[in-house]
Structure 1
Amino acid sequence: MNDERVILLLEPDGALRAGLRHSLEGGGFRVREAAELGAGGLAREAGEGVALVVARDGAAGGRREVFAWASRFDPPPPVILTSPRPGIAEAVSAVREGACDYLALPAAPELLLSSVRRALPPVRPDAPQPAGPPPEGAKPFLTRDPRLLEVLKTARRVARSTATVLIRGESGTGKELLASFIHRHGLHPEEPYVAVNCAALPETLAESELFGHERGAFTGAVARKIGKFELAGRGTLVLDEIGEMPLPLQAKLLRALQERAIDRLGGTCPVPVAARLIAITHRDLGCAVAAGAFREDLYFRIQVVELVIPPLRERPADILLLADHFLARFGARHGRAALGFTEEALRVLTRHEWRGNVRELENRVERAVLLAEEGRIGPEHLGMAEEAGRALSQPTPFSFRPGTTVSEMERQLILNTLRQVNHNRTRAAELLGISIRTLRNKLREYRAAGEEAGRVQAAHPG
């Protein structure tokens, strides 16, 4: 059955262009072609109805001009880049900038068509798109932190590609929520979202879980089983805690990513797969490679785009934002919508180290919603009464001896505020009502005078 969607082919070499056109038309697609964007009067009208762009990387105008041209349409068509001399660095850069794939020229017809079909959204005239949300799809990714906002910006950019993504961060920071975010903004949000915890897979069953098995493949295999790779279809397969995957299984995963095919246990022929892979880990895989616990070739294969989520203790602006969000959610769920935090609770929330990150904050707020009385949540409801007591037993940073100079009071105020926010200068400047530049200048003055701020400056350079 012919697809008949229109593909715009941009290739300056006439012979290569003819070969690509022949392959695409042989796959049932309609082809609109030109040597480059500036040739043949390729104005906006030429892009109307185009479902996908196949363009030579490095041709006149460069890939950025192709991306800019495609972005003029709503929705913008996916872009596949080609090159007669592809390099790993160029391919990684192209995918990060928004390309769905990066192919070597001349491209084998089956490889070209496979890449095109992965990039194109499915044609389902009898069903609305997109379908139901993936797991956690209803949960927003809330943040005010500049670093995490940049991570989300990169995630949204690479979502419209088939590139493998590695998400790294401490436990409880929201790594699977970010994977869900990428799926929702990806090429096929209507396709399945399948998550697998590699640490929870029994080693004897892990291969069958991921790749499936045929009937009779082993004792107890009474029927064919479809593995997670196939269940994901053209959607997203998330491998959580990939650093815990056994080495023999890592080799099979590497082959699946390289060949875009898997072998069911007991099967006689490869099965093509098209799912986009997102790998998640709390470990430093570079160290695992050095220790021989993780394959280096697989590490490079999954690290096309790496996204690192900072821990909550490094995102002080997010603590109260998330606490209010969880309070609203659990208040509505448990019929306690009128609850609010006391000032003491807010102070202890901002001072806590949050070793369990967002998951710990979520659990503490739900506990507080269930235990609080009279409409107010205090430290005792959060399970943080002891911390609040320690804070009260410490000398207040805002009490001064009679005769203390104004400059000394200012110095104490600045240094104590820095201690209270774990030396986060941006947060301290916000609380003090001064600019970050003024704060740096004050610390420089204290350092020059040999004050305690010299230690703060050395430990936390600005």
Structure 2
Amino acid sequence: MTTTLAGGVVLIADDEEPILDLLRDILEPEGASVRTARSGREALAALEAEEPDVAIFDVRMPPPDGLTLLKTLRERGIDLPVLIITAQDSSTMTIEAMQRGAYDYLGKPFDPDEILHTVQRALEHRRLTRRVLDLERQFSQDPRDILIGRSGPMQHVYKLIGRVAGSDATVLITGESGTGKELVAHVLHRNSARREGPFIAVNCAALPETLLESELFGHEKGAFTGAMAQRKGRFEQAAKGSIFLDEIGEVSPTTQKKLLRVLQERTFERVGGNALLKANVRVIAATNRDLIEGARAGNFREDLYYRLNVVNIHMPALRERNDDIPLLIDHFLRKHRFGGGEAAPISDAAMELLQNHAWPGNVRQLENTIERAVVLAQGGLIGPEHLLLDRTLTVHEQMLDSALARLLTVAPLPQLLEELRARLLTLALERCHGDRAAAARMLGISEALFTSVMSDE
């Protein structure tokens, strides 16, 4: 039987371990990447972490049960194909499952070929649905519809996207946090020859080194404690599509080395494995860090930087595209309608405040401000009192205030300042792997002053 499960992610929720093992043994050899859950709650957590292509739910399992879980998904607007499996092979259960939006219904004990065939059909349905949605978006939207703005800096971004989207060149998207780097990655993928393939996003800062390596490259059964089965990594899942590596500047030296190999040779190995796998993906990376400075400080491989930075698209900060603020405000007012009603109006005074604000958190902060203002104004006219801009601190200020608040009662000010100075010098030296010149640059002082202060400690 010919199957097309390669690259498909299947979530199985069942409280019977033999059933989980049996389904895994049926699906994984055909190329599916299987995730498992032993209760409805575990399944919901797995769905929030990563939306699969197909889900298989048992009716009778620790709450919520399969039918309740299916209903929850449909209420949330999640339309992935769901197969309901139960030992209760009755017409009543079948009708209820289909009424709640199940893709199909199978009774235990089931036939492996039937399971395989049904999952294949469900996966093909999912892929077809995605292709239709992508085509609808392609014809109804261009980058200006997704990336709001008509300013000069944004016109430059659009031109770069248009020039490089059709190629397979690796792209590094730079810019401050909140500027819309992931949106650019989506637009690049949707306008590329790989648009019918998957778009897989990975936040490199969200996972520790050991988990990130397994997440990116996959692992073999028994590769480490808890590796009960072979697992495909994100590079395999992104086959014939694009992989987006967000916050690439946060990855460890070990992972940097493996990423360099992928970019140079287009091959990689799963954790605990020896088989050489091909990486048929387009790599798009993003960072809010200065990677060149990181390379000079010894925190980021210079050769990896140049491999990533084949094409650079820099997203401007919101303060550099002030003319776009009214367009963005209008977009967010329509997006965040109070109670599903009309877009809230905004006063001239509030608009002036928004246009004159510095926006250290960029577009993300502007959207949060508008969403909050809509709620506070209850859908009515938004005035300056609803913006709460005077209470907004930059991320740096928030971190500093939080740290200082904990230190206020620890020691007298002179002692605190001395201890902070000593700790900052030590931390900078550790970050720069003992390089005093690099540590001095990190702290914004001369190497001579750094050496002098260190000698006083």
- TM-score between the two structures when normalised by the length of structure 2: 0.54
> Which structure 2 residue ranges, 5 or more long, are not aligned?
1-124, 393-457
Once the two structures are superposed, what CA deviation does each residue of 1:58-94 show, in whole Å capped at 9, x if it has no partner? Answer: xxxxxxxxxxxxxxxxxxxxxxxxxxxxxxxxxxxxx
- 1:127 Cα deviation from its structure 2 partner: 5.2
Aligned residue number for residue 218 of structure 1: 224
2:231 alignment partner, SS class? coil
How many residues were matched structurally?
A: 261
1:363 matched to 2:364? The reply is no
Judging changes above 3 Å, is the alpha-carbon distance between structure 1 residues 162 and 292 closer, same or farther for their aligned structure 2 residues? same
Q: 1:385 & 1:373 partners in 2: Cα distance?
A: 21
Judging changes above 3 Å, is the alpha-carbon distance between structure 1 residues 307 and 338 closer, same or farther for their aligned structure 2 residues? closer
Higher helix proportion (structure 1 or 2): 2
The one-letter code matched in structure 2 to 1:290 is R
- 1:151 Cα deviation from its structure 2 partner: 1.4
Equivalent in 239, 242, 246 of residue 252 of structure 2: 246
- 1:128 Cα deviation from its structure 2 partner: 8.1
Aligned residue number for residue 380 of structure 2: 375
1:153 matched to 2:124? The reply is no
Aligned residue number for residue 6 of structure 1: none
Aligned residue number for residue 310 of structure 2: 304
1:234 alignment partner, SS class? coil
Q: 2:340 & 2:212 partners in 1: Cα distance?
A: 42
Once the two structures are superposed, what CA deviation does each residue of 1:410-438 show, in whole Å capped at 9, x if it has no partner? Answer: xxxxxxxxxxxxxxxxxxxxxxxxxxxxx
1:130 matched to 2:135? The reply is no
The one-letter code matched in structure 1 to 2:358 is E
Aligned residue number for residue 358 of structure 2: 353
Q: CA RMSD in A?
A: 2.4
Does the 8 Å CA contact 2:205/2:247 hold for their aligned counterparts? yes
Does the 8 Å CA contact 2:374/2:380 hold for their aligned counterparts? no
2:368 alignment partner, SS class? helix
1:191 matched to 2:201? The reply is no
Judging changes above 3 Å, is the alpha-carbon distance between structure 1 residues 227 and 344 closer, same or farther for their aligned structure 2 residues? same
1:194 alignment partner, SS class? strand
Once the two structures are superposed, what CA deviation does each residue of 1:246-295 show, in whole Å capped at 9, x if it has no partner? Answer: 01110011001111111011222101111100010000111001001000
- 1:130 Cα deviation from its structure 2 partner: 3.2
Does the 8 Å CA contact 1:338/1:375 hold for their aligned counterparts? no
Once the two structures are superposed, what CA deviation does each residue of 1:122-165 show, in whole Å capped at 9, x if it has no partner? Answer: xx9x958835449x998711111112211111112101011000
Does the 8 Å CA contact 1:239/1:279 hold for their aligned counterparts? yes
1:14-93 matches, cutoff 5 A: none
Aligned residue number for residue 279 of structure 1: 285
The one-letter code matched in structure 2 to 1:379 is P
Judging changes above 3 Å, is the alpha-carbon distance between structure 1 residues 157 and 203 closer, same or farther for their aligned structure 2 residues? same
1:343 matched to 2:375? The reply is no
Equivalent in 243, 264, 269 of residue 263 of structure 1: 269
Q: 2:209 & 2:133 partners in 1: Cα distance?
A: 32
Aligned residue number for residue 208 of structure 1: 214
The one-letter code matched in structure 2 to 1:130 is R
Aligned residue number for residue 293 of structure 1: 299
- 1:207 Cα deviation from its structure 2 partner: 1.1
Judging changes above 3 Å, is the alpha-carbon distance between structure 1 residues 132 and 386 closer, same or farther for their aligned structure 2 residues? closer
Once the two structures are superposed, what CA deviation does each residue of 1:359-387 show, in whole Å capped at 9, x if it has no partner? Answer: 00000100111111472100111113689
Judging changes above 3 Å, is the alpha-carbon distance between structure 1 residues 291 and 191 closer, same or farther for their aligned structure 2 residues? same
Q: 1:131 & 1:232 partners in 2: Cα distance?
A: 19
Does the 8 Å CA contact 1:379/1:385 hold for their aligned counterparts? no
Does the 8 Å CA contact 2:350/2:382 hold for their aligned counterparts? yes
Judging changes above 3 Å, is the alpha-carbon distance between structure 1 residues 386 and 256 closer, same or farther for their aligned structure 2 residues? closer
1:173 alignment partner, SS class? coil
1:321 matched to 2:327? The reply is yes
Does the 8 Å CA contact 1:148/1:310 hold for their aligned counterparts? yes
Equivalent in 154, 161, 164 of residue 170 of structure 2: 164
1:239 alignment partner, SS class? strand
2:179 alignment partner, SS class? coil
Q: 2:206 & 2:316 partners in 1: Cα distance?
A: 25
> Which structure 1 residue ranges, 5 or more long, are not aligned?
1-123, 388-462
Q: 2:230 & 2:217 partners in 1: Cα distance?
A: 11
- TM-score between the two structures when normalised by the length of structure 1: 0.54
- 1:334 Cα deviation from its structure 2 partner: 3.1
